[in-house]
Structure formats: structure tokens, C-alpha cells
Structure 1
Amino acid sequence: MGTTVVQLTPQKLEEAKKYYAPYITPRKIPYASFFAKKDHLTITAYNSGKIMFQGDNEDQEAALWQIKESNKPKKAGSLPENFAQKSIIGSDEVGNGSYFGPLVVCAAYASKNQLPTLKKLGVKDSKMLNDKQILDLAPKIKELVFYQELVVMPQKYNQIQPDYNAVHMKVALHNQCLHLLLEKISPQQPEAILIDQFVQESTYRKYLKKEKNSVTQNLYFITKGEQYHLAVAAASIICRAEFLQKLQQLSLEIGFDLPSGAGTQSDKQAAKIIKQGGVDLLSHYAKLHFKNTEKAKKIADK
């Protein structure tokens, strides 16, 4: 069993806490921000910003958070000049941190001629929009731009997950969306492709080597990509709307509301499903590898 320690900035520590939320378990450790168990790994994050990985292939997990000088997330100045005014494909995903509901990935192509119309529609960072605004905007965006969307429902997600960790799965889906969208818009070519960054570029490209039809050229990675180009904002809104609709469908199917996120309410609702039909039934609604599953089992057994 190996040990790797990485120093994170306060912002990165907060990102790590959100990323590992499904795996966090209660444990009192002095000066610790959180403690998580993922597969055969333990992750201990300290308030100082240090995060310790222990277990099998701990170096690979740590690599998700190690930032080498050449691989630091690009700043606005690292993007081509006048990037926000160019014809760009933007790519984003929704649902990765939610126990219930699908994982949705979308790529959208916004040509420079479409940017004024997108702006007039009110397209912006989806986090600045409420659910009603998102559901109203998504169909209007779909009528305007070329896009490619992939939806992995929980049952399929659970079949794939043992062979694809969360990062690898997202890389595969982003790449497939980009490949299919490039085929749709051909012979048009975007001036660049901007992926809302969820992992270091080196890690993305490492997993990309395992994929067919890999899109490798003219890729840019930046966190909060919606702020740098409306194509990413459009993709994010389409993703979010699809996630909300699918979560609502699953709620209607099971007969009660399924929350987004991975909090205690998710544990309680999952326990109700387990009582109805066991973990087999739960696999149709939830991502089983989340820690919520074990918590729900305990609640159901009471």
C-alpha cells in the first residue's frame, strides 16, 4: 500500500471536497477537512491544504490533483486572443455529483454569427440561472445551434462503472460528443474546442489514448468555461435541462421525489427504494458506487 501527499490551494481543496462527496465518511481526524474511502483508497484532506492518498494505485488518484507548471489550468490570457468572439465548440457535463439521476454530457457549436442571438436569449453560466430558466432556455438553444448530447442513465452507468472510473467515463463521453458533433457540422470546422475542465489536461489525454475516434487537436481546458465562451454555457444549460427532466421522470416512475446531489435526503429516499425492491431496484435510479448506497442499506435495515 502506497502513500502520496499533494498540496492543494484552498479553491482546489474545496473542489476535492465536492468531488469526493459521495465517498466521505464520518471520522474524527485532527485538523482534517474530510476523510473519504473510494474503492481501495483512503483520502484524508487537511485544513492546511495537504491531501493524502493511501492504498492501491494511490499515485494515479493523486495525479488528478497534482498541478505541474505546464499543466496548470489555462487562464483567460492563455486562450487565443478574442476567444469569446470566435466560432467554438464548448463541452460540459452535469450529474456527476448527484447520487440519483443520469450523467449527461453535451457539446455545442456556437459560430461567431450566433453569439449575439445566444446572448440576447440570456445564455450565461447555468449556475446563475434557476431551474425554470434553464428548462425554458434549453429548447431555444437546441433550435439555434448544432449540439450533441449523451445521457447515461443509472442502470447503464452501474454497468459501465466497474470498468470506467468517474474521470475515465467523463473523458470517454466528452470525446464521443465532440467526435459526433464534428461529424454533424462538417465541413465546417470550429476555431477551437473548449472543455469545461474537470481534470488535468495530462490526465484527460492519458485516458483519451484508450478511446476510439479520439479528438486530440485544438483542445483547450479551463475551469468555469461558461465564463469564457457562450458555447460552453449553451452546452451546460442543455445538460442541466436534460438532467432535471430525467430526474423528474425517475421520480414519477418510483412515486416520490428523488433529490439531486448526494446528501442525507438521498440516503433516506434510497432506503425507501431498497425496502420496495432491494438494491436491484435502486440500480435503476442511483449510482450505486456512491457511499449513499451503504448508508441507505443501514437505514433500510432499521
Structure 2
Amino acid sequence: MKSVKLDDFEVERFMNITRNLHHEKPHQYEQVRIKDNGIVFILYNSKKLVYNENPQTVDLLSLIVNKKRTLCNKKQKTPNNSACNIQSYTYTIGSDETGKGEWFGPLVVCAVCTSQSENHKLQQLGVKDSKKLSLNQIIDLYHKIEKLGIKHEIIALKPFSYNKLYAKFKKDKKNLNHMLAYLHSKCITNLLKQLNTHDVVIIIDKFDSKKMNEYLKIDPEIKVIQESNGERYTPVATSSIIAKYHYEKILKEIEKRYNINTKKTKIEDIDKNILDKVAKTHFKNVQKYLK
């Protein structure tokens, strides 16, 4: 299934051209639902039109959509948020995580929901991948993002909680990617519950598409994009900044409480009795030390 955002004139043309096709009862948030001999159209209240790639459907669509515009294509990619299949949605949800590759400190997963106008404001602030920012820049941007009131969901697992959850997944013969998919899905679905529309596209910084699809149980009509370097999209970059801010904040709390500097202290210098409270114990260097 593909989609395109219609303008008022195109909606009117759509209504006229499809009036003799078989109409089904619209679902929630839908204005029109058509299924007729392989032709499928779903028009949402937001004016987003979802359609199948049946040749007859495409022929009808060419009569509806302004020929000067390009229909959104899943393979189209352009820098930042300029891909048409991103701009054609009312909301964009982006998710990212920080801390999965560090043996010390927490794991923080964050998902952000933005409108197109909020994306523009975030771009003006200078939001970009947190890996390209200094810690001071991250702190400054985080507070500016907070002032904008951007919808977001965070799951921050301190090492003790992380280790318990990881052990649970391992017991079920699952790995870290299963756990990440579960956490990302939880943040994303919590955001979706706050929206009164399905006119949203979800962008996830790709780590394991198969496992993500296994855990993300949402309406199949909602578009999900999993891309490497997903931080090029403003909502994902915003998630990376929020996640990194909370990661550093929690890490500082851990270091203060246990009187250690995880970035300078060797693992052998940490008391084994507190290791599960400061470190991710399934990491090979931690396992080696614990033996």
C-alpha cells in the first residue's frame, strides 16, 4: 500500500471519479473506504489517501492527483525531511536509543512525535544527530526542545533494571535486539495513543527490522520506515538528543552515588558487589571479570 496527501480540489475530484465504485463502511478516522474488483482506496479525514498498486487503481489515481506532483514512493529518498512520503503526513514519530554499546551506565530509549511546523522549529534550533554535538550543545538543545513542549516518551533503564530485563529476555532465548524492539515499540505505541489520527509516519533508526516488526503491533495502515542513519530525520535526531541528555544525567547520578568515574575507572577497580548497579553484566568484559 502507498499513500499521497490530497488537496481540497483533489479530494473533490476523488469523490466524483470514485462515486460509482463499491464503498464500504469507513473505519475510525476514515472519510471513504473503497474496495472494488482489486481497486482499493482509503481516504482519511486528514486528506491522506492510501491506495494499492493495482493498475486500475493507479490509472484512476492519475486522474485525481495533480500531474505536476510526484506520488510518494517508498524508495524515494532526499536529505532531511524533504522526502515526500514524510512531508505528506500530519505527524512524524521518530525513535532512537543511547547506551546499548556501553558496558557501563543506563540504556535510554526515546520516541518523539512532531508536526511539520514543529519539525521546522526544531531545525531552526539546530537539532541534529546527538553524536555530532558536544555535551554542552546537547544540554542546551534539550532545554530548548523542552520549552517547545514536544510530545515524547522515554524509557530509561538504570543498570540494575536493565540487567533484570535482559535476564528475562535471555531466559526466553531472546537477545538484546528483541529487548530493544520491545522498548522502542512501547515508546511508539504510547505516543500513538495520544493522537486522534492515523495520519502519521513512524521512523526508526534501523537495528533489526524483523524483530521490530515482531513487537510493533499497530494498525497496518500506519507507515513504518526503518532506516540506517535515521538521525537525518528531525524527529529521530530529536529523540537522540533527549535520550543522550537523560543517559548523561543518569550516568552522573550513578557515578556520584558509587564514587566512581566510569569513563576513566578500569572495570577491575569496581567492587563486584556493586557491578550490577553500574554495569551491563552480559557484556563480555564484565562477564570475564565476574568469573
TM-score of the superposed pair, with normalisation by structure 2: 0.65
Structure 1: unaligned runs, 5 residues or longer: 1-72, 260-264
- Matches of 2:240 and 2:76 in 1, distance apart? 20
Paired amino acid for 1:203: K
Could you say which structure has the larger radius of gyration? 2
Aligned mate of 2:112, from 108, 113, 116: 108
Query: Is 1:187–2:189 an aligned residue pair?
Result: no
Match of 1:174 among 184, 207, 226: 184
Residues 1-302 of structure 1 mapped to structure 2, 5 A cutoff: 76=77, 81-83=83-85, 85=87, 86=89, 87-144=91-148, 145-164=150-169, 165-184=175-194, 186-199=195-208, 201-206=209-214, 208=215, 217-227=222-232, 229-259=233-263, 268=266, 270-274=267-271, 278=272, 280-297=273-290
Q: 1: CA distance between counterparts of 2:276 and 2:166?
A: 12
Give the C-alpha shift of residue 188 in structure 1. Answer: 4.3
Q: Distance in 2 between matches of 1:289 and 1:168?
A: 15
| 2:242 alignment partner, SS class | helix
Offset of residue 297 of structure 1:
4.3
> Structure 2: which 5+ residue stretches go unaligned?
1-73, 170-174
Decide which moves more: 103-112 or 86-95.
Answer: 86-95
CA displacement at 1:162 relative to structure 2: 2.0
Q: Report the secondary structure of 1:89's partner residue.
A: strand
Residue deviations 1:186-213, cap 9 Å, x none? Answer: 21445300001011x223223x17xxx6
**Quick check: 1:178–1:215 contact (8 Å CA) kept in 2?**
no
SS state at 2:262 partner: coil
Give, in whole Å, the separation in 1 of the partners of 2:270 and 2:127.
37
**Number of residue equivalences:** 207
Distance 1:94 1:256, change over 3 A: same
Q: Would the aligned equivalents of 2:127 and 2:234 in 1 still touch at CA under 8 Å?
A: yes
Counterpart CA distance in 2 for 1:74 and 1:245 is 39
When the two chains are superposed, the root-mean-square deviation of aligned CA atoms in Å is 2.4
Secondary structure at the residue paired with 2:117?
coil
State whether residues 94 and 239 of structure 1, in contact with CA within 8 Å, keep that contact through their aligned partners in structure 2.
Answer: yes
Contact kept, 8 Å, 2:185 with 2:212, in 1: the verdict is no
Deviations 1:169-198 (A, max 9, x none): 1001000001111122x2144530000101
Aligned partner letter, 1:179: T
Q: Give the fraction of aligned pairs with identical amino acids, expressed as a percent.
A: 33
Amino acid in structure 2 at the alignment position of 1:258: T
Output one character per residue of 1:20-70: Cα deviation in whole Å (capped at 9) or x when no partner. xxxxxxxxxxxxxxxxxxxxxxxxxxxxxxxxxxxxxxxxxxxxxxxxxxx
